[in-house]
Amino acid sequence: MLFVAQRAPGLFVARRLPAICNLHFSIFNFQFPLMPEGIATTQPHAASHPALQHHFENMEQQREAGTLGMWVFLVTEIMFFGGMFLAYTLYRAQYPAAFVSASNHLDITLGAVNTGVLIVSSFTMAMAVWSTQVGRNRITIICLILTMILGATFLGIKAVEYKAKYDDQLIPGRLIPSRPFKPKVAEPGDTDKHKLHLIEGANVRNVELFYWIYFAMTGMHALHMIIGLGIMTVILNAAWRGKFSAEYHAPVEISGLYWHFVDIIWIFLFPLLYLLGRHLEHHG
């Protein structure tokens, strides 16, 4: 379509196409400077915002293109995590008893608190976006700092949980060579919380499979949180230096999309990993 457009004589029609088409033409203009100037619908106005890139017509178009691009990236993230959710669902269907036993060993209190922490951080992030949209930079800075503190809190609680799994020898395989997967299995009547309580039909090998999936999914999620904290550091630095205003705040908004996406992943991880099978907890 673009090649046709490049050669078509009636290019002025293109001016009436939606913003995204203008974006494509502007890329051609940039790469083929010999093309007649007349078709350029994208020359920035003389009195435009300094943050406006030359290939966008106005700030509005630039912001919308950025948002769309971020969503396309988030789609790849959905497919990436989707593969792991698929693996989880398949093995949960094949080994339900082992998955219930393994899931019930997770700390539901810490998991629920962490869910709350992430939801509050999503709220402070949303408030950061709002405050930057209305040009109240001081509130933006406070909200970004709060978001980062909450994100770090989440990772801290996650580390406490990982440590408990390490102590109970539940790190799968030989991920930690000196401490391979070897949980103590509780006998009937034993209430030791550090031992694995297997319900009927559960097999320790399949419990290990659950922990592979648990560490893969929560580990990838934690990595996204760490990257999110890095992005927030950059955004906070820019906000601190007064880069954002009611006219230009796309970076805050786009980082917010990323942060909320990571929150959504946890919204699904929490019930799937921690909650399903809790009602069978004392049926061992």
Residues that bind other proteins (CB under 8 A): 18, 20, 60, 63-64, 67-68, 71-72, 74-75, 78-79, 82-83, 86, 89-90, 93, 108, 112, 115-116, 119-120, 122-123, 125-127, 130, 133-134, 253, 256-257, 260-261, 263-264, 267-268, 270-272, 275-279, 281
- C-beta of residue 179 within 8 angstroms of C-beta of residue 166: yes
Task: Judge residue 120's burial from the number of C-beta atoms within 10 Å of its C-beta, 0-12 exposed, 13-18 middle, 19 or more buried.
Answer: middle
Here the tokens at position 244 are 């954002």
Residue 113 CB, nearest distance to other proteins (Å)?
10
Which CB atom, from 125 or from 148, has the smaller least distance to other proteins? 125
Q: Which is nearer to other proteins, 161 or 253 (CB)?
A: 253
Among residues 87 and 216, whose Cβ is nearest to other proteins?
Answer: 87
Structure token digits, residue 50: 């300094």
- Please check whether residue 170 is in contact with residue 211, taking contact to mean a CB–CB distance below 8 angstroms: yes
**Closest separation between CB of residue 271 and other proteins, Å?**
4
Minimum Å gap between C-beta 106 and other proteins is 12
The helix/strand/coil state of 157 is helix
Of residues 87 and 185, the one with the C-beta less far from other proteins: 87
- Which of 5, 262, 251, 279 has its CA nearest to residue 128? 251
* HEC-encoded secondary structure of 123-153: HHHHHHHHHHHCCCHHHHHHHHHHHHHHHHH
Output the smallest distance, CB 87 to other proteins, in A: 9
Closer residue to other proteins, CB minimum distance, 181 or 210 = 210
